[in-house]
Structure 1
Amino acid sequence: MSKKVIHPRMILFVIWDVFSIAFVSYISLLLRFDGNIPTEYTSNMVHTVLPVVVCGVLVFYLFHLYKSLWEFASLTEMRNIVLGSLVASLLNIAVCVMTDNPMPKSSYFIFFLMLTAMTGGSRFLYRFLRSYKSKTATKNKEASHVMIIGAGEAGEKIAKEIMHSACIYKEVKCFIDDDSTKWNRSIHNIPVVGGRDAILEAVKKYEIQEIFIAMPSVSRKEMADILNICKQTKCQLKKLPGMYQFVNGDISISKFKDVEIQDLLGREPIKVNMDDIMGYVKDKVVMITGGGGSIGSELCRQIASKDPKQIIIVDVYENNAYDIQLELKHDYPNLKLETLIASVRDKGKVDDLFKKYHPDIVYHAAAHKHVPLMEDAPNEAIKNNVFGTLNVVKACDKYGTQKFILISTDKAVNPTNIMGATKRLCEMIIQTYNKKSKTDYVAVRFGNVLGSNGSVIPLFKKQIEQGGPVTVTHPDIIRFFMTIPEAVSLVLQAGAYAKGGEIFILDMGEPVKIADMARNLIRLSGYEPDVDIKIEYTGLRPGEKLYEEMLMKEEGMQTTPNKLIHIGKPIELDEEHFFLQLEKLYEAAYAETDQMRELVKQVVPTYHPEPVEG
């Protein structure tokens, strides 16, 4: 338990207030009688000054005038000074009346005014001196010039923090706000120079180095529009993450985050009412294969908050599994959690896990997903993705799992690479098994996930940090993008809709050009594309498409209550022949055949591999 420390500053303020109350008691009479105080009132003052001083100091203590950090004094502290002085003045009247030492009525009013001036003046003088000292220290350290976009309450708080802190070596030069009534006015003597159209000109005029976007309630589209202007500068960009910091009063420099590429997508984040749909995981044993990966770990986080009976993380990579295990134990100390290192390729191990834990729901995220690497190792893709999935599917059927949700990909549609073909095979497996099992087997198909392992964003960031070049395979290549939490929340909702056999397709919005994304990320890092950081086009990689499709033509389309989730109609296939083909694939994969693409083509007619050179 920490000890209370009496700061020397507090003692000085007490001493000053003792002097102020005594002095004001005298000066109020002196002013009332134009310098000639009658003897009887001098006597009355002498008899009452001590209890008046004691009462005044006690009142000031109760109004926190000795606890406030006066270098950050604001309207709250000013209100406390006025109220404290008013109460002290009323007690002065009470003491005079009760001790039969009355004073002229006008002197009481003068007492209140003078006391307010002396107590308030001393404290705000202290604030001014501290602020001046901070500014001097900042200027001596070559402060970074800052522009704040948003001249509202959030922007004002940030400006005030910068002004008053001796540890923040920044100087706010101007505000930007689209509200024209604020233009040509100032906040803390800092000018509001105009709306977003004035950003570029103001950056040059004030030699701005950093831009803080303090607009917690702005829409994603508005944010994207503003960032598209800001990215033309070489300024470092930071933004307040969201409205909840503003509502909670949690606004400070430390809460500002670097602007990320997803902020430029220009759409509102996908929101799912998880409370309405997550009842199906409450009190259930949930297994997540590949639970340490980018999608698997986010599944763990979102499911952990919905009171499952138990979460079982299965992953072959111990480092990833360990990281999410530590996080969940910290955030959910009462969660029943098992973290198991195992490969889904090990049929016996998978069977043992299901026999021991009997999961009610399985999210299958374990897979090799890196397209170029799988092109070089097609047999490994088949072993892990196809037969790893088959092992888990069979275990679900054997041990009575209620739901199995496969994490699939848009690359499964008319695949040109082996990774996409393996995912299409997985979809065929679950649709076939669903017809003969009590388990509801479904797949959820979506595109690229921003920030996930192996995605382009971490690669671009690394290349920018190294000074470039940033490599893009083709100037016209486009992809669908979604954030990890968005994708996972839709996966969970699709699981609620699952009746068995469906392939759920997530609406990824409008596709984005990878080259544009690279340029934007370079600008957000404070550089000029093709000037400071070069962009190089390396050519399409083996199995890579210029664009991805979300749905095969023959699958058709059904809707769900969530308009962002659609259902592809199952494709009919000869099941007996299909499983015979799977047996041949299994034997060929473990025989390390060099004909795997041709064999997969026989099973997946929509697979169109590119010819392998050499």
Structure 2
Amino acid sequence: MVEKQSAPPGRSRISHGALSSAIYRLPAFWRRTTLICWDGLSWVFAMLAFLLVRYDFDLSSPQWSWVIAYTACAFLLQVALGLVTQVYLGRNRIGSFAEASWVGFVVVVIAFPLGLVFSALTTNFPRGVAIMLPPMALMFMATARWLFRSLMASRPRPVGEDATPALVYGAGDAGYQVAQLVAKAEDPPYRIVGFIDDNPDKRNLRIEGHRVRGTGAELVTVARERGARTVILAITNASAKLIQNISDRCRDHGLELVVLPPVREMIGGQVTLGALRQFNVADLLGRRPIRTDLSEISDYITGKVVLVTGAGGSIGAELASQVHKLGPAKLLLLDRDESALHGVQLELYGNGLLDTDDMVLGDIRDYEALLAVFERHRPDVVFHAAALKHLPMLERFPLEGWKTNVLGSLNVLRAAHAVGVQRFVNISTDKAAAATSVLGRTKRLAERLTAWFANNYDLPYLSVRFGNVLGSRGSVLVAFRAQIDKGGPITVTHPDVTRYFMTIPEACELVLQAGAIGTPGDVLVLDMGEPVKIVDVAERLVEESGQDIEIHFTGLRPGEKMHEVLFSNLEEGSTTSHPLISEVYVPALDPDLVPEHPDSRDVVLELLDTEPTIYPGTTLETLR
């Protein structure tokens, strides 16, 4: 039934396609000769049309002679000037904007001098001819080019038998780019059978000859009618809710879902067929458009010496990548893991020789070595991303968490202040809010120490707090995929446990923006969107794998929460100039109150448990 309905337009396309193919197969010499003849004849057609409408061909013999002479001169000058400017020698594609502009230029150059000369030579030359013939001739020339371009656009391209019939969801700019790419590809992987768009006003819109056939609610019905096997989601800023809805319907009705990546993952925001990829779980968790004010960020990055601690980690490496694009005078990467530094240098600069002084091997626990690095390079901006972050491990080894997350952060703060660092951004975590774990409490202490340096010295030293990042080393996605690769089972602590998620590029973009808008002592909290059930993520990954993998629940671990929060009961977020960044107050902590050499695990745990009593009127319970 579908084929019978589409047969008539198909026959029309075949006839047009045959003509366009015949034109396309003409040798270039004959195509150009035809174009020259047409442009010359355009002056003749313009003359006849004007004289018929204006004078009804009722001219005297001298007038006829002068009009014919004018037209002949225009004809010859058109050809000559077109050859000189290479308009007729393949300078631009026929029918392109550039080619049309050059043709218009040639006509204008001819029209004014020729009209003035003929008007000055005799009174028998009708002045209206000099005014009206050039634009009318140009109109005839443009008509031929429009016809040629339309025929070329309708020229059928061979579509391989294995091209998958696809329905494109989204009739906006991205959908238009997809249609163009499929139309122009020599061997396209898809054959578009129609468009879907949620805007009912686009019901009759046609894109590259393909009609919008319904709204999102009619997706499955239209797909069946048109014989589509794939749905291409051509909305680069689609919300997680929309993607989830489309994914569920495609899965339930045996349709493959292919998506465009977010704009930030595409070069210049341009769609390519190679950018189309299978839908994955990251599309559900990290697709919010992040508006970044590059002018604000570049003010404190461009031309400055920037140091990133923990540069070999997932966040540190992405920060380094984004800072590098902003043109710092020097980018210093510090980490205690030489292999991680090797990977970052290879990613940023295309080599991993590790023989330049901007690659710094060092441990933030060693204050003297750290200070020597700061004194040698004297950074203007510091992003402090070095930390121990695995919650269960720090529950077992709290002394290590204290040494790195508290004392190491204090070392970086002291070294930064000693050499006059202008701006300091401490990377924190949502686990510092209403902290119940060693990780959360040590990171909260780092926030408070940062606030002390900011308040005491009136410096823009601040902390940025956010939750889980997708794809970082040790993240839940990496762990789950590793378990799937081994055949399962996937281990989840509890069926109801939820977490906030954000992609690494999203988090780092907002960290850079936070560094621009933050004031001394701020703790800026990134909007993480809606919390997601961990078991839903696990089920989605199992579905992607196509395997029969079991999910086992192991129970919450010591210090682990059922639901993370971004603010404690004592913290009330206030708005900032950025819609995705909030601000909370964290009391400063005097470094002199921080023991530098706790001698046992128990001492550290006691310090962390009594941390809230360091400032009056607060208990551990009220913080939670």
Whether contact under 8 Å (1:400, 1:439) holds in the other structure is no
Is 2:550 the partner of 1:548? Answer: no
Residues of 1 paired with 2:301 and 2:142: CA distance? 62
Instruction: State the shift of 1:475 in Å.
Output: 1.9
Is 2:605 the partner of 1:601? Answer: yes
Whether contact under 8 Å (1:85, 1:116) holds in the other structure is no
Partner SS state of residue 604, structure 1: helix
Is 2:31 the partner of 1:13? Answer: yes
Instruction: State the shift of 1:13 in Å.
Output: 2.0
Is 2:173 the partner of 1:159? Answer: no
Residues of 2 paired with 1:440 and 1:81: CA distance? 56
Identity %: 29
Work out which of the residue numbers 394, 405, 427 in structure 2 matches 1:407.
427
Q: What corresponds to 2:218 in structure 1?
A: 198
Whether contact under 8 Å (2:465, 2:525) holds in the other structure is yes
Q: 1:604 to 1:328 in 2, by over 3 A?
A: same
Deviations 1:532-586 (A, max 9, x none): 5646134246343322233444x4446364473222332779955x42xx4224x
Is 2:255 the partner of 1:239? Answer: no
Whether contact under 8 Å (2:468, 2:475) holds in the other structure is yes
Q: 1:162 to 1:62 in 2, by over 3 A?
A: farther
Instruction: State the shift of 1:215 in Å.
Output: 4.1
Q: What corresponds to 2:20 in structure 1?
A: none
Residues of 2 paired with 1:481 and 1:290: CA distance? 21
Instruction: State the shift of 1:605 in Å.
Output: 0.9
Residues of 2 paired with 1:207 and 1:430: CA distance? 61
Q: 1:176 to 1:64 in 2, by over 3 A?
A: farther
Instruction: State the shift of 1:436 in Å.
Output: 7.2
Whether contact under 8 Å (1:472, 1:535) holds in the other structure is no
Q: What corresponds to 1:287 in structure 2?
A: 307
Work out which of the residue numbers 564, 568, 585 in structure 2 matches 1:568.
585
Deviations 1:383-407 (A, max 9, x none): 4334433432443455454554432
Partner SS state of residue 583, structure 2: strand
Work out which of the residue numbers 71, 79, 85 in structure 2 matches 1:56.
79
Residues of 2 paired with 1:603 and 1:462: CA distance? 37
Partner SS state of residue 311, structure 1: strand
Residue identity opposite 1:539 in structure 2: T
Residues of 1 paired with 2:219 and 2:31: CA distance? 45
Spell out the pairing of 1:88-487 with structure 2 (5 A cutoff).
128=154, 131-132=155-156, 134=157, 136=158, 138=159, 140-152=160-172, 154-183=174-203, 186-215=206-235, 220-221=238-239, 224-225=241-242, 227-233=244-250, 234-239=255-260, 241-242=262-263, 250-254=270-274, 256=276, 261=281, 263-265=283-285, 268-271=288-291, 273=293, 275-276=295-296, 279=299, 284-304=304-324, 308=328, 310-325=330-345, 338-375=358-395, 378-401=398-421, 403-427=423-447, 429-430=449-450, 442-460=462-480, 471-487=491-507
Residues of 2 paired with 1:26 and 1:434: CA distance? 81
Partner SS state of residue 605, structure 1: helix
Partner SS state of residue 219, structure 2: helix
Residue identity opposite 2:187 in structure 1: C
Residue identity opposite 2:531 in structure 1: P
Partner SS state of residue 409, structure 2: helix
Deviations 1:268-312 (A, max 9, x none): 545454534764556654322112323223433454566655432
Report the count of equivalent residues.
553
Residues of 2 paired with 1:549 and 1:437: CA distance? 31
Instruction: State the shift of 1:237 in Å.
Output: 1.9
Residue identity opposite 1:542 in structure 2: R
Deviations 1:4-42 (A, max 9, x none): xxx99533423444676899999999xxxxxxxxxxx9x
Deviations 1:293-343 (A, max 9, x none): 23223433454566655432211233443454466568xxxxx98221222
Residues of 2 paired with 1:164 and 1:373: CA distance? 55
Whether contact under 8 Å (1:183, 1:194) holds in the other structure is yes
Whether contact under 8 Å (1:414, 1:552) holds in the other structure is yes
Partner SS state of residue 583, structure 1: coil
Instruction: State the shift of 1:603 in Å.
Output: 0.9
Work out which of the residue numbers 536, 539, 549 in structure 2 matches 1:516.
536
Instruction: State the shift of 1:257 in Å.
Output: 6.3
Q: What corresponds to 1:583 in structure 2?
A: 597
Whether contact under 8 Å (2:384, 2:425) holds in the other structure is yes
Moved more, 407-416 or 15-24: 15-24
Residues of 1 paired with 2:277 and 2:541: CA distance? 15
Unaligned runs of 5+ in 1: 1-6, 30-40, 331-335, 589-595, 608-614
Instruction: State the shift of 1:513 in Å.
Output: 1.6
Residues of 1 paired with 2:483 and 2:469: CA distance? 19
Whether contact under 8 Å (1:551, 1:568) holds in the other structure is no
Residues of 1 paired with 2:447 and 2:269: CA distance? 48
Partner SS state of residue 598, structure 2: helix
CA RMSD, Structure 1 to Structure 2 (Å): 5.4
Instruction: State the shift of 1:253 in Å.
Output: 3.0
Residues of 1 paired with 2:299 and 2:499: CA distance? 33
Residues of 1 paired with 2:510 and 2:46: CA distance? 72
Unaligned runs of 5+ in 2: 1-24, 48-63, 351-355, 612-624
Residue identity opposite 1:547 in structure 2: H
Q: What corresponds to 1:32 in structure 2?
A: none
Residue identity opposite 1:143 in structure 2: A
Residues of 1 paired with 2:304 and 2:192: CA distance? 53
Residues of 2 paired with 1:569 and 1:25: CA distance? 80
Structure-1-length-normalised TM-score: 0.70
